[in-house]
Amino acid sequence: MNAKSTTNRKGLLAGGNWIIDQVKLIDVYPQPEQLANIRSQSEGTGGAAYNVLVDLAALGAPFPLSAAGLVGKDALGDRILADCKQRKIDTKCLKATAAAPTSYTDVMTETSSGRRTFFHMRGANALWKGDDIDFAKTKARVFHLGYLLLLDELDKPDKTHGTRAAALLAAAQAAGLRTSVDVVSEDGNRFTQIVTPALKHVDYCILNEIEASKTTGFKIRQADGKLDTVSLRHAAGALLQMGVKELVIVHFPEGAFARTRKGDDHWQSALNLPAKYIAGTAGAGDAFCAGALLGLHEGWDLKKCLEAGVCAAAASLADPTCTAGMKPLQACLDLAKKYRPRPSLEPAD
């Protein structure tokens, strides 16, 4: 990697999924042919690229934010472009197409548990190839791509790199950018086929425990639902062995775990939030990612990056949409004073 180029760069370019979420709060998830009541509904941002950039803008990121991807030439696409403009997110690489509508997701959230079920329309995201990005011209320091497994063109095979997403990440690294990826929690067996090739061209791999488990084969959740910290560490190590260059972060409701290429481990507990505080869990993973990437861009120590991640996730949980709960960074960090972190996750060796 061109270290000088990376040092001279500033900003984050996020490419991938641009989605409008239709969030519906329901009393219960129904069995087939049964009825559930929609108690309320709201509209919000969705997708890795959209959520992370909006969260970074709300956090007050002190660096330029740029968007890449594809929306439809329709009302939802116009709304996304206008929203980015209002938040001062550069949209030169966020194009509109008449070939497909803007992607949207119906998010069914149970009010009692916060559990979510997604009904997704892939739309224009399925057509995005990433070939409209000139990494040599962008001044961004970090390229964040997500979600793998939910970008049809980029998930396709590539003879040289394994997948087109891997080729795109390789191009970003060759131009001197640090790369970061996120993955969708798909109920399927495509992780090895699609995620693994990309990891060879990733600096920061930020996944949840489900995605890390399916990519590596380690069972991070025990049968009783408890976190298996030994398997978690093995999974992080396996992701590094698969090619991640600098850092693996695995986040989960209880907190986060990070392992560096040097073998240093870091644990961070989530905040001890009361049940009534949590309005919905949609977007919490992207919020964590935004907080962590903010710190990584700014060169913070890893402990501070993880703290920013869990505090940003906590802010997100206060609203049923993905990003409307986000606050400026200091207000997020202040949540740790009001809601102390849970007991330490670090196992006694």
108 Rama sector, left if φ>0, alpha if ψ -120 to 50, beta otherwise = beta
pLDDT classification of 187: cutoffs 50, 70, 90? confident
What CA–CA distance (Å, rounded) separates 246 from 222?
28
* pLDDT of res. 185: 85
Residue of 302, 304, 322 whose CA lies nearest to 313: 322
- What lies within 8 Å, CB to CB, of 56 at 6+ separation is 12, 65, 290, 293, 294
Q: What is the pTM of this model?
A: 0.93
Architecture per CATH, domain 3-336, reads as: 3-Layer(aba) Sandwich (3.40)
What CA–CA distance (Å, rounded) separates 279 from 149?
27
Instruction: Tell me the domain boundaries of the chain.
Output: 3-336
Could you give the C-alpha distances from 272 to 164, 253, 290, 310, in angstroms and in order? 41, 10, 20, 11
pLDDT at 347 over 90: no
Tokens for 323, please give them: 């990003």
Per residue in 30-72, pLDDT (tens digit) is: 999 999 999 998 889 999 999 999 999 999 999 999 999 999 9
- Return the SS3 of 44: strand
Residue of 301, 237, 233, 15 whose CA lies nearest to 138: 15
Q: How confident is the prediction for the chain on average, in pLDDT?
A: 95
Per residue in 140-150, pLDDT (tens digit) is: 999 999 999 99
pLDDT at 1 over 60: no
Percent of the chain with pLDDT over 70: 97
What CA–CA distance (Å, rounded) separates 269 from 342?
6
- Return the SS3 of 57: helix
Q: Is the separation of the CB atoms in 310 and 288 below 8 Å?
A: yes
* pLDDT of res. 276: 92
pLDDT at 101 over 90: yes
pLDDT classification of 109: cutoffs 50, 70, 90? confident
- Return the SS3 of 116: strand
Alpha-carbon torsion (212, 6, 133, 164), positive or negative:
negative
Tokens for 102, please give them: 């803007």
